[in-house]
């Protein structure tokens, strides 16, 4: 049985319509007529649910938002132009100068630079921890801490967090937990595990074929009773809670991020994302199975492979218990040196050399010469970037074809 059977049924039904055009209706208009002034007033005060202006909402994107919110059990979602746009939306709408972030695991290069270079220029400090440094994380929490940020899978270090445990810490201290679930949609359910906000780069496996850049932020509902967001730490969003109740975080994102920064998705991008999304459960099931087969075979042939499905990986037990549906499409191979890594990638007939992940095709990239080229040695060591490290993202090709190609490319 498909690991994602429930989603296989649900998502195709949500993307296609029963009457009229089956494929999602694509709206590309930048602005929308209000008909009359009364309706215009209602659209602006929120009492009339019609499009206002495409920077703050587009009907095609709204369909994608509904599907993504239901996929993750959120009360709503806001889609963005890119994954970085989604991360900027989720963080900037909550932060002010003087605030602090605790960043755990990972970390995707773009997010790392955003925290250390860009947010730092605006007086926001980020503290970095490995997924298992729980005591250090608790010690680093103080009154300025606004966000705990976590990647569901270390990319490219392949370390796995105990998400429930980290969510317990965040909740005990009344701090918002944001999970970047880009690598593990459907397989990991961050909101069910106790997180508040989920971010995605939909550019990756959700769309799955390099046809559209995109991002998404999924928000949990604000509780009617007690809620950490009603505490003093988040007092500047209390007016939103008063006005919008359970939906408050959607308002925060739309007013503080889309309206003021404009990282908005466009109708065409959202349309392509839905076409990709409807086959995600099928693609992911196949890819996760192929990853397990390939890493096992490569290890047997003497490759230095890093993936938590392998018994020697420090998080193998966690992989089996908490990541039973796999941890996405990526793993790494350490070829020992830059020269050997280049030779392997250049000799492979199957690997497409690119910085993307989660594609229908198998992708590969030498880490130190590309994404991490500007990082100092100490940071590279923290992130697990060695001289010969290659990141692989498995596609839809047959496991046998991939194993044969890799063995040929490495002359094994």
Ligand X SMILES: *Cc1c(COP(=O)(O)O)cnc(C)c1O
When asked if residue 110 is in the footprint of ligand X (CB under 6 A), the reply is yes
Q: Which of residues 181-220 bind ligand X (CB under 6 A)?
A: 182-183, 201, 203-204, 213, 215
CB of 198 to ligand X, least distance (A): 12
Question: Applying CB under 6 A, which of residues 4, 7, 108, 128 lies at the interface with ligand X?
Answer: 108
Site string for ligand X, 241-280 (x = CB under 6 A): ----------------------------------------
198 or 295, CB closer to ligand X?
198
When asked if residue 159 is in the footprint of ligand X (CB under 6 A), the reply is no
Task: Look at residue 148 and give its three-state secondary structure.
Answer: strand
CB of 85 to ligand X, least distance (A): 7
Q: Which of residues 71-90 bind ligand X (CB under 6 A)?
A: 82-84
**Residue whose C-beta lies closest to ligand X:** 83
DSSP single-letter state for residue 130 = -
Question: Applying CB under 6 A, which of residues 8, 58, 63, 155 lies at the interface with ligand X?
Answer: 155
Task: Look at residue 372 and give its three-state secondary structure.
Answer: coil
- Bridge partners (DSSP) listed for residue 126: 101
DSSP 250-310: HHHHIIIIIHHH--B--HHHHHHHHHHHTTHHHHHHHHHHHHHHHHHHHHHTT--EE-TTS
CB of 18 to ligand X, least distance (A): 32
The residues, ordered by sequence, that sit 6+ positions from 3 with a Cβ below 8 Å of its Cβ are 187, 284, 285, 288, 325, 326
For residue 97, what are its two tokens?
A: 């100068």
When asked if residue 330 is in the footprint of ligand X (CB under 6 A), the reply is no
When asked if residue 180 is in the footprint of ligand X (CB under 6 A), the reply is yes
d(CA 105, CA 270): 29
d(CA 331, CA 364): 10
8 or 202, CB closer to ligand X?
202
What separation in angstroms does the CA of 322 have from each of 240, 319, 360, 387? 35, 6, 26, 31
Picking from 324, 301, 212, the residue whose alpha carbon sits closest to that of residue 309 is 324
CB of 186 to ligand X, least distance (A): 15
The residues, ordered by sequence, that sit 6+ positions from 135 with a Cβ below 8 Å of its Cβ are none
Tell me which stretch binds ligand X (CB under 6 A): 31-39, 178-186, 284-292, 342-350. 178-186
DSSP E strands in 21-175: the ranges are 76-80, 100-104, 125-129, 145-151
Q: Which of residues 357-376 bind ligand X (CB under 6 A)?
A: 357
111 or 126, CB closer to ligand X?
111
CB of 80 to ligand X, least distance (A): 9
Contacts with ligand X: how many residues (CB under 6 A)?
Answer: 17
Q: Which residues bind ligand X (CB under 6 A)?
A: 82-84, 108, 110-111, 151, 155, 180, 182-183, 201, 203-204, 213, 215, 357
């Amino acid at each position: 049985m498909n690991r994602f059977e429930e989603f296989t049924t649900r998502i195709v039904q949500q993307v296609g319509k029963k009457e009229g055009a089956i494929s999602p209706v694509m709206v590309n208009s930048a602005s929308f007529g209000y008909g009359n002034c009364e309706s215009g007033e209602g659209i602006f005060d929120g009492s009339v649910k019609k499009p206002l202006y495409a920077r703050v909402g587009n009907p095609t994107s709204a369909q994608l938002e509904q599907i993504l919110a239901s996929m993750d059990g959120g009360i709503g979602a806001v889609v963005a132009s890119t994954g970085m746009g989604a991360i900027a939306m989720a963080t900037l709408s909550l932060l002010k100068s003087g605030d602090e972030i605790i960043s755990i695991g990972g970390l995707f290069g773009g997010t790392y630079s955003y925290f250390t270079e860009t947010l730092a220029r605006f007086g926001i400090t980020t503290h970095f921890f490995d997924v298992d440094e729980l005591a250090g994380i608790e010690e680093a929490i103080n009154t300025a801490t606004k966000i705990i940020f976590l990647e569901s899978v270390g990319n490219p270090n392949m370390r796995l967090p105990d998400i429930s445990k980290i969510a317990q810490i965040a909740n005990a201290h009344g701090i918002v937990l944001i999970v970047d679930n880009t690598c593990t949609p459907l397989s990991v359910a961050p909101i069910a595990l106790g997180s508040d906000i989920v971010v995605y780069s939909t550019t990756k496996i959700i769309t799955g074929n390099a046809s559209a850049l995109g991002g998404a932020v999924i928000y949990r509902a604000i509780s009617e009773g007690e809620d950490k967001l009603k505490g003093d730490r988040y007092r500047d969003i209390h007016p939103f809670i008063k006005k919008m109740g359970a939906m408050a975080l959607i308002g925060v994102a739309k007013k503080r991020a889309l309206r003021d920064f404009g990282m908005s998705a466009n109708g065409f991008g959202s349309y392509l994302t839905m076409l990709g999304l409807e086959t995600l459960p099928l693609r992911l099931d196949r890819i996760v199975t192929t990853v397990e087969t390939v890493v096992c075979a490569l290890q047997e042939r003497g490759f230095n492979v890093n993936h938590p499905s392998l018994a020697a990986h420090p998080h193998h037990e966690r992989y089996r218990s908490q990541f039973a549906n796999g941890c996405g499409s990526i793993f790494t191979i350490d070829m020992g040196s830059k020269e050997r890594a280049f030779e392997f990638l250049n000799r492979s007939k199957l690997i497409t050399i690119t910085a993307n992940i989660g594609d229908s095709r198998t992708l590969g990239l030498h880490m130190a010469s590309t994404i991490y080229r500007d990082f100092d040695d100490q940071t590279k060591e923290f992130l697990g970037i060695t001289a010969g490290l290659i990141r692989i993202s498995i596609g839809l090709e047959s496991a046998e074809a991939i194993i044969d190609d890799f063995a040929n490319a490495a002359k094994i």
